[in-house]
Chains A and B, each alone.
Chain A
């Protein structure tokens, strides 16, 4: 009888200790995982864009800690989550550096395009003006193609204004994308007019 009570007491103490231990690990593990997830979410757009492999690596580590937590292995989850803040911080630093580098490269591209493309537009404008003065178009240019080129020149000016506006509003990436469209369209218009564009650099 005493033995039975004794073992029941021991069992209760064991269970209480176990529950206590689990509670000790559960909350810190949950907090660490949540913090890592939030920090990762905050940088996910840039991280996936500039360092997708590194982002996946950290995301996988977060997912692994979550999976361990969901199996009620709080101690294991806490151990898995222990390094997450450092990994997320490191990723954040690397993403910021990669983004800065990418923007610097885009700015260089923009500087080059913004120096060249207005001259391209001016050169096309000059030829259109000359051809508009001509009593007859040259042999290699029919009226329909000339009209199309003139319309293309109008489009080019609008496209270039849009690219400039993007740059002025701080969106270098969009500005460069639009400028490259201007370059392609300008090359097409030049070809219509029998002009030669330099090879794209």
Chain B
């Protein structure tokens, strides 16, 4: 589920930053639902990962996303 390993990106210098590695079938809404219990909060995940995401509807399997 969550991957605590360090990664490049906005949380790279924070050892406590929380990550999720995108798996098949994931969407930002699903990830928001999983972590926050509310799919409507997906824009916050998108904003936290603007360095790797250009479109909230286009995430790639294996991408490591920071979960605020």
Spell out A's residues near B (CB within 8 Å).
116, 119-120, 122-124, 126-127, 130-131, 133-139, 141, 186, 190, 194-198
Q: Which of A116, A124, A134, A197 contacts B37, CB < 8 Å? A: A134
Which chain A residues lie closer than 8 Å to B34 at the CB level? Answer: 138
What's the nearest-Cβ distance from chain B to residue A190, in Å?
A: 7
In angstroms, Cα B34 to Cα A137, docked, is 9
Q: How far is the CB of A119 from chain B (nearest CB, A)?
A: 5
Contacts of A195 in B (CB 8 A): 2, 16, 18
CB distance from A156 to the nearest CB of B (A): 12
Minimum distance in angstroms from A36 CB to a CB of chain B: 51
On whether the beta carbons of B38 and A134 are closer than 8 Å, the reply is yes
- If A197-B4, A198-B4 touch, whether A119 touches B14 (CB-CB below 8 Å) is yes
Q: Closest A residue to B36 by CB, please name it.
A: A134
* CB-defined contacts of A196 to chain B, threshold 8 Å: 2, 4, 18
- B15 at interface by CB-CB < 8 Å: yes
A138 to B31, CA, bound (A): 11
Given known contacts A135-B38, A138-B34, A194-B2, what 4 new A-B pairs fall within 8 Å (CB)?
A: A119-B17, A123-B17, A127-B68, A136-B38
A122–B14 alpha-carbon span in the complex (Å): 10
Contact B36 A130 (CB under 8 A): yes
- Of B15, B41, B68, the residue contacting A126 (CB under 8 A) is B68
A139 touches B37 (CB 8 A): yes
Question: Do B68 and A135 touch (CB < 8 A)?
Answer: no
Docked pose: A157 CA to B59 CA in angstroms? 35
Top 8 closest pairs, chain A to chain B, by CB: A134-B38, A138-B37, A196-B4, A123-B16, A120-B16, A136-B37, A134-B36, A119-B14
Q: List 21 A-B contacts (CB under 8 A).
A: A116-B15, A123-B18, A124-B16, A127-B67, A130-B41, A130-B44, A130-B68, A131-B36, A133-B36, A133-B38, A134-B36, A134-B37, A135-B38, A136-B37, A137-B37, A138-B35, A138-B37, A139-B37, A195-B2, A196-B18, A198-B15
